[in-house]
Amino acid sequence: MVHLRIVASPVKSEDALARLESNPSVCNVVVLAGAARRPPGDLILCDVAREDTSVVIADLRDLGIDQDGSISLEAIDTQLSANSERAVRAARGAPADAVVWEEVEERTSESATLSFSFLAFMVLAGLIAAVGIFLNSPILVVGAMVVGPEFGPIAGFCVAVVQPPRSLALRSFVALLAGFPLAIAVVAVASLIFKATGVTPVELRMGGLAKIIASPDFFAFFVALCAGAAGMLSLSTSKSGALMGVLISVTTIPAAANVGITAAYGDWSAFWGSLGQLGVNLVGILLAGTLTLAFQRALYERRRRRHLRGLEDGGLGGEHDHGGDVEEQQN
């Protein structure tokens, strides 16, 4: 379940309540008339089944509630209520598969912004990966993958392609365009310093992890596709554990680090191979992520169309008729 806190102007409050109370996937509706002071209006509280959250919010936005008031979302971890159970049954689908698009947009918008912390994490992840490559240490390379924040802008780009605002795509592209070159440059400088001071070998021997990173192949692209799909699913359904697995399955940060190392050592064959590995991973993740979100968005649009047809017919629509049938069978 998702808890909604709505501030609505007195003019729109009744319409908002009518939409909420007519929707069987909404429960625990509470109205505090005139409770809001800035902006002035009524405070409406309600709980909605996660599957129908975006549909309900779309209804409220159609009324312009978000223009002169506000709509806040908060996930409910536990709720003991027969009413909420009936609301969940009234919504089509499984809560675990539900996508709250407003939540996805907000989460990716924040992580896709170019900031000092984003650049710092990119540089630190690149340096950790570089040390892991020098020492041929899988543990350090995996650690660098986890530290790397590059999946945020990648996800933001995929979300922007599927739904507005398109400006999110530009912000995501700028973040990636600034983050990867900076990380590569810092790693290259650090590698030159390590080389000059004798910390690392004078001659670079491409073996082990470095050789694998510099040799992109079909499986690298295949893993990137799987990781992109899994990453978007974990992001849209709030499965953080799955997202952690995605971060340690793609070699974007190690490839960027190897680009910097090979540039410092003048190994241009490995340089282009590592650059190719970076490109293969980015393209694969972007492609699979966008297709996954597009499929989820198509399911939502179908749900929304059924809901609107129900409103036009003066009833509850196909979505909720299904839930009612289930409830009747259970009763």
Q: Looking up tokens 């240490």, which residue turns up?
A: 137
pLDDT at residue number 330: 37
According to CATH, the topology of domain 103-297 is Glycerol uptake facilitator protein (1.20.1080)
pLDDT at residue number 190: 96
Which residue(s) pair with 73 in the sheet?
A: 4
Residue 102: count other Cβ atoms within 10 Å of its Cβ.
17
Residue 39: count other Cβ atoms within 10 Å of its Cβ.
11
**What CA–CA distance (Å, rounded) separates 40 from 68?**
9
**What CA–CA distance (Å, rounded) separates 255 from 73?**
39
Q: Check pLDDT > 80 for residue 316.
A: no
Alpha carbon dihedral 124, 130, 136, 137, in 10-degree steps, equals 0
Kindly list the domain boundaries of the chain, sorted by start residue. 2-94, 103-297
> Taking all residues of the chain, what is their mean pLDDT, rounded to a whole number?
87
167-193: pLDDT as tens digits: 888 889 999 999 999 999 999 999 999
pLDDT at residue number 112: 81
CATH number attached to the domain at 2-94:
3.30.70
Query: Which token pair is 116?
Result: 């000092």
219-254: pLDDT as tens digits: 999 999 998 898 888 888 876 655 665 666 678 999
Which residue(s) pair with 48 in the sheet?
A: 2, 26
**What CA–CA distance (Å, rounded) separates 317 from 304?**
10
Q: Check pLDDT > 70 for residue 318.
A: no
pLDDT at residue number 317: 43
**Averaged pLDDT for residues 204-216:** 84
* CB 41, CB 9: distance < 8 Å: yes
248-306: pLDDT as tens digits: 667 899 999 999 999 999 999 999 999 999 999 999 999 999 999 999 999 888 888 88
121-138: pLDDT as tens digits: 999 999 999 999 999 898
**Averaged pLDDT for residues 70-79:** 91
Instruction: Find the radius of gyration of the CA atoms of the chain.
Output: 25
